[in-house]
Copies of this chain bind each other. A is one copy, B any other.
């Protein structure tokens, strides 16, 4: 058995769409490039895949070194292969998306970028490479995923109120959802568990606190919203 020929292989990178939710706004993390190509433009964070690394490893490395984050919800999105997507040469991008609670982390620009910032997903600037397309794909995936898997909870605190969850769904889906029907459906789906605790110290009635149901039943629940 021979090892691989020393073919030339396309370069291989992971690019990350990191979603964060804060104060009723869904945001994505962008960094401003210090170097050509696309110097001083905003792009998705990413890194070349090292020979011994899994994609997950590469993603963790990006999140850790560039952003000071780690151990997030991470899911492979799609692999982008347009030959002209990188002016430096043939480059394949395996896109992942991550969900973050920004209040748990503090972003750090690192040495490789001018700046790192959260952008409201409705107000993102022009992006370098084909990152606009990757971003759009990620938004679509998130919207469809949230309907059949309790994925949004990564964006919230461990304990959250029904209203917070409701607002998150409205924000991600971009529609308004009847509060009472939403409650019934999300409880029927058994995505969440009532902890019995309440959030204290508010002006109004103290809302019940829920948590994500770790042991959720496997049968592909479809949340018809």
Contact = CB atoms under 8 A, between A and B. Distances in A.
A74 B82 CA distance: 16
A126 interface: no
A83 interface: yes
Given A8-B51, A9-B9, A49-B10, A36 B79 contact: no
Interface centre among A48, A92, A94 (most CB of B within 10 A): A92
**Within the oligomer, what is the number of copies of this chain?**
2
Given A3-B89, A48-B7, A92-B12, A83 B54 contact: yes
Contact of A11 (B4, B78, B87): B4
Contacts of A205: none
A8 B5 CA distance: 12
A195 to B, nearest CB: 33
A146 B37 CA distance: 41
A81 interface: yes
Contacts of A37: 1
Contacts of A1: 36-37, 87-88
Nearest to A86: B4
A127 B81 CA distance: 27
Contacts of A135: none
Interface string A29-49: 000000011000000000011
Interface of A: 1-4, 7-12, 36-37, 48-49, 51-55, 76, 78-79, 81-83, 87-92, 94, 222
Given A2-B88, A10-B49, 14 more contacts: A1-B88, A2-B36, A3-B89, A4-B91, A7-B48, A9-B10, A9-B12, A10-B12, A49-B92, A51-B90, A54-B82, A76-B78, A79-B79, A79-B94
Closest 7 CB pairs of A and B: A1-B36, A9-B9, A79-B79, A55-B81, A4-B89, A4-B11, A3-B88
